[in-house]
Amino acid sequence: MSRARQTVTLTADLVILTIRDGGLCVLLVERKNDPFRGRMALPGGFLRGDEALEQTAARELAEETGLAAEALNLRQVGVYSAPDRDPRRPRVVTCAFLAIAPDLPVPVAGSDARAARWSPVTEAAETALAFDHDRILADAVELARTLLQFSTVATAFCGPEFTIADLREVYETVWGVVLDKPNFHRKVTDADGFVVPTGEKRASLTGRPAALYRAGEAAELVPPMMRSRFGA
Amino acid sequence: MSRARQTVTLTADLVILTIRDGGLCVLLVERKNDPFRGRMALPGGFLRGDEALEQTAARELAEETGLAAEALNLRQVGVYSAPDRDPRRPRVVTCAFLAIAPDLPVPVAGSDARAARWSPVTEAAETALAFDHDRILADAVELARTLLQFSTVATAFCGPEFTIADLREVYETVWGVVLDKPNFHRKVTDADGFVVPTGEKRASLTGRPAALYRAGEAAELVPPMMRSRFGA
DNA sequence: GGAATAGTGTCTCTCAGACACTATTGG
DNA sequence: CCAATAGTGTCTGAGAGACACTATTCC
């Protein structure tokens, strides 16, 4: 039997990242059913007959956050297929997707009744999540860190309009580093198509008001944002 | 029915790349059965009950090339799950893996009777492959190009011992560029853990003999190999 | 010696990083 | 005025790229 070709059940799991209160957070749901009942897990769902996995992920994302997939930069993290990762039969194999969200006003209200909440990734990394979701989360965070280096997705963490300081906070939070303000400012505004000035300014609580920007057209960030020295 | 959760069949497909006669080549097999009988396709196989997909890929790789997976830098390219990608029922979803092989002495002799052969990727890209294998091949080649930039996998294209010129040929072939010999030499020998001199020399047909190297311990290449301007 | 390939020296330009400095707001 | 944040100027050092030059082999 172990040598026979096998049918499996496929799921798409989501690692939805955002920045809240200065920390990188991930959306977790509490499992209401076995296996792993009561344990926190990544949101996800089963593949339907007429879907590709990307659509399954987009559908789940809309259910969990109310946001359209296009805006959230859905990217494949990888496939997790260890035979013992899920005790159910037939085997459950999952494909993980990374989504990057701005700080959402509501913690989340899914269409189903699952208790969903934002959890700092530092905490989540210490908690034992259901299945192999610890590993998936770690892989997704690492992917997000790499993406910040070479793409313009950092703007997806911000709202439609943001200041350079907002954007810098994204890099500092996700990478756990402190960046030089003047150099970051130049780098970002010089990069072609990364940010576009709106002409507006946002008054800060104190100090000089900052110019507002929108995300530019470019997807790739050239030259890449350096990530030489790291922090906690 | 389309809304119901579905069981699928999983396969692992392999994009095995090597360099032959100065060109980047991929291993293709001719399909003996429907669907796509007679069409060229990527080698692959079905997931077995006791395996993870990585093991399925490693097993197929050993069957097709006789090489152990450890040596060949097996990496996940992605999952391909479009509902119409395979006409069979139940649905077939595949996970593609990239493998990088040195120029093998024998074109290939699989344990099964399939006609396998190395095909230049430029040709393969023009041919219509079975299923969505054109797309998978393109994605895998792009991944390989990126990997050369940031990792030391280029040595996997070479045999156990190689010259700096051999390694340079790998970059030039995969990227389709011409690199400056002196600068490449310095870059590679200076990078920490990329190549290790064996102390031996290989006599070339003409000119000064080149020093031989082995692959170093480092997996990541810092600083990365630049890929600023491109060629054909 | 000449042809061919391996490898070194050295200059220039770009860009990351450090950091002094100026600009604009509210108290 | 001061405090605080936004943004500019400028220097330095590392590394990419260009390319002149030296080194070692076979004929």
pLDDT of residue B63: 86
pLDDT of residue A230: 37
pLDDT of residue B110: 54
Q: CATH says B9-150 is which class?
A: alpha beta
**Contacts with B148 (C-beta within 8 Å, 6 or more apart), sequence order:** B154, B170, B171, B174, B175, B225, B227
pLDDT of residue A2: 54
pLDDT of residue A173: 96
Task: Point out the residues of chain B with pLDDT beneath 70.
Answer: 1-4, 69, 71, 105-114, 228-232
Q: Which residue of B has its CA nearest to A51?
A: B83
Nucleotides in chain D with any atom closer than 7 Å to protein CB: 3-10, 15-20, 23-26
DSSP A134-176: HHHHHHHHHHHHHHHHHBSGGGGGS-SSEEHHHHHHHHHHHHT
The nucleotide lying nearest A182 (C-alpha to C1') is D7
Q: What is the Cα B106 distance to its own chain's centre?
A: 17
CATH topology of domain A153-215: Arc Repressor Mutant, subunit A (1.10.10)
pLDDT tens, chain A, 232 aa long: 556 678 999 999 999 999 999 999 999 999 988 899 999 999 999 999 999 999 999 999 998 888 776 767 899 999 999 999 999 888 999 999 999 999 876 655 555 556 888 999 999 999 999 999 999 999 999 999 999 999 999 999 999 999 999 999 999 999 999 999 999 999 999 999 999 999 999 877 889 999 999 999 999 998 899 886 433 2
Q: CATH says A9-149 is which class?
A: alpha beta
Domain ranges of chain B: 9-150, 153-215
Query: Do residue A8 and residue B9 have CB atoms under 8 angstroms apart?
Result: yes
Cβ count near A105 (within 10 Å): 5
B169-197 burial by CB neighbour count: b if 16+ within 10 A, else e? bbbbbbbeeebeeeebbebbeebeebbee
For chain A, give percent helix, strand, coil, nearest 5.
Answer: 30, 30, 40
C-alpha angle A110-A112-A118 in degrees, rounded to nearest 5: 35
Distance in Å, alpha carbon of B77 to nearest chain A alpha carbon: 8
pLDDT of residue A110: 54
Half-sphere exposure in the Cβ direction for B100 (13 Å, CA): 23
Contacts of B226 in chain A (CB under 8 A): none
Of A5, A48, A78, the CB nearest to B48: A5
Residue type, B71: A
DSSP B13-45: EEEEEEEETTEEEEEEEE--SSSSTTSEE--EE
